[in-house]
Amino acid sequence: MNHTTTHDPDQATTTHDPGPATAPHDRPFAFVDPHAHAWTPEEARARFRTGVAGPTAGVAAGHTQANLISVPADWAYDMLLFCQRNPKPCPVLDVTDAGAWTTPLARGADLRTDLPRYRVWEHGELVAEPTDVVDVWRKDLVSFLIGCSFTFESALTEAGVPMRHIEQGRNVSMYITARRCRPAGRLRGPLVVSMRPVPPGHLAATIRESSLLPAVHGGPVHCGEPAGLGIADLSRPDFGDPVDAEPDDIPVFWACGVTPQAAVMASRPPFAITHAPGQMFLTDARDEQYRVL
């Protein structure tokens, strides 16, 4: 089942109803091509450009993935300041010039067409979920590419940590928490987290490996009881899909790059474009480029 926050997310307590803001594109999805993990980033972007859509966890394994948020230039400083004040959920990898749709992180890529699915926002309301945003692109948009936790999943897999959402062909579970981000100018909102169930014997490796990649959220912000983050029910994520855990698994939570989308919903800028949760931009960068030795 898909869930939509039905009120201002800045209040950090959510109610859930199936609805158009997340349905149907957050439903469990498995790429038809079983070799998606072996795609190059360029191959992945080419497929997305033709309309292939779905969660990108495990796609082009070993390459850095990024969240996208594009805002009008007169909101760009507020967004930059919001990211600077909240580096855990919003680690900035690149910022474009106004109107630009290219980035040095991916040669030849087009930020308007090369993500699987986008979200278009007007005054904090979700108005469309297209597979490209060429028709609604504006010359004043400044785009922020923000580190994504999918990037450290290759390191976790190599360390033997199971990725339950990938095994189940699902999007990762994401939740609005009771923790508030530090506001910046006109932007405010709650912290959003992603969750992965981890067997107890793999918890130390999970924390170690993800902590070595601070540019893509780094180590967890919480392990264990979800109530510590104000999350009432793990089976009802605010974004993404419910993921089935094994009986002894521990829920592990990371700061999530969907946090700016919660800020958009709470702060209601006149216009914004983001990625659809879990459907990321594939860069040419290798994960190890962001690894701290």
Report the pLDDT averaged over residues 72-89.
Answer: 98
Question: Over 90: is that where the pLDDT of 34 sits?
Answer: no
Distance of CA 143 to the CA centre of its chain: 15
DSSP assignment of 208-259: HHHHT-GGGT-S-SEES-GGGGT---TTS-SBS---PPPTT-EEEEEE-TTH
Q: What pLDDT is stored for residue 35 in this prediction? A: 82
pLDDT average, residue stretch 245-264: 97
Contact 58, 37 (CB under 8 A): yes
Chain center to CA of 222? 17
Residue 195 pLDDT class (50, 70, 90 cuts): very high
Separation CA 23–CA 38 (nearest Å):
29
H or E segment at 164? helix 164-167
Kindly report, residue by residue over 204-225, the tens digit of the pLDDT.
999 999 999 999 999 999 999 9
Domains and CATH numbers, the chain: 34-288 (3.30.2040.10)
